[in-house]
Amino acid sequence: MKAALVALDYQGLTVSFNEDGWFNATAVADRFGKRVDHYLANAETQNYIAALCEGENTRKVGDFVRAKRGRNGGTWFHPDLGVHFARWMDVRFAIWCDRQIRTLLMQQHPHFDWKRQRHEASASFKVMNDILAAVRTDQGKPTAAHHYINEARLVNWALAGEFKALDREALPIHELNLLAKLELKNATLIGRGVSYADRKKILESTALEARVVSSPVLPSQQAA
């Protein structure tokens, strides 16, 4: 199970899936007053797993149930078994799990939109750094780590209002999208030889305009 983890919320309960649709059963069982070992010892469950294994002669219980230690540890269930387990706990939770698993397996879950946008932000960050280094090389100047850090902090300030590092893994998709736009904008400005002070003003304006465009218009505002 090397697929990336996807933490989803069900009525305040964090449910850990991976991109292949497996989910951590141990972490959610307590919420419903259940125990995973009781589920696995259930005669109906054993018959269900046996039927799953019959689908392919090479399959065994380990193909559907896996124990993981350490961080995100617990008993993880294959998608084919996960929904059955969820139904054993609560029918509404089972419906929710089924929908999450289907969209994950089809790569139509919002998680994949975020992942693609995260990749774009990483690519735009590299472009910004490459252009910075190229411009400084043309000027006969070396590029040190602090030069890259200064540009990253400038973009982060335009996005979040602070000259410090950002936890990009925690940014929502719309913030990642804006971050990528700001990095590409800054790269273009660097390439044009625009000063730091002017770039700061332009990036601030760009971020403000992007937020205004993306902000929903309330009915009261439309009436006015």
pLDDT, tens digit, 9 for 90 and up, residues 51-60: 888 866 656 7
Q: What is the pLDDT of residue 217?
A: 43
Confidence of residue 221 (pLDDT cuts 50, 70, 90): very low
Q: From CA 33, how far away is CA 29, in angstroms rounded? A: 6
Q: Give the Å distances, CA to CA, from 137 to 78, 140, 151, 164.
A: 53, 5, 16, 26
Give me the pLDDT at residue 38, please: 94
Q: Are 24 and 15 in contact (CB under 8 A)?
A: yes
| Residue 146 pLDDT > 90 | yes
Q: Based on C-alpha coordinates, what's the Rg of the chain?
A: 24
pLDDT tier at 108 (50, 70, 90 boundaries)?
A: low
- Residues 87-110 as b or e (16 or more Cβ within 10 Å = b): ebbbeebbebbeebbeebeeeebe
Is 184 within 8 Å of 202 (Cβ atoms)?
A: no
pLDDT > 60? residue 72: yes
Residue 220 has pLDDT above 60, yes or no: no
Q: Is the pLDDT of residue 118 over 80?
A: no
Per-residue model confidence (pLDDT) at position 43: 93
Tokens coding 149: 């850090």
Q: What is the pLDDT of residue 190?
A: 95
Give the pLDDT score at 224.
40
Give the position of tokens 């697929």.
Answer: 3
Instruction: Report which residue type is found at 66.
Output: R
State the average pLDDT over residues 62-72.
79
DSSP string over 15-59: EEEETTS-EESHHHHGGGT--HHHHHHSHHHHHHHHHHHHTSTT-
Query: Which of the pair, 224 or 127, is modelled with greater confidence?
Result: 127
User: Quick one: average pLDDT of 88-112?
Assistant: 83
Of 198 and 120, which is predicted with more confidence? 198
- Most confident listed range (34-38, 119-123, 162-166, 173-177): 34-38
pLDDT over 70 (residue 1): no
Q: Give the pLDDT band (50/70/90) at residue 13.
A: confident
Q: Residue 116's pLDDT is what? A: 66
> What is the pLDDT at residue 111?
58
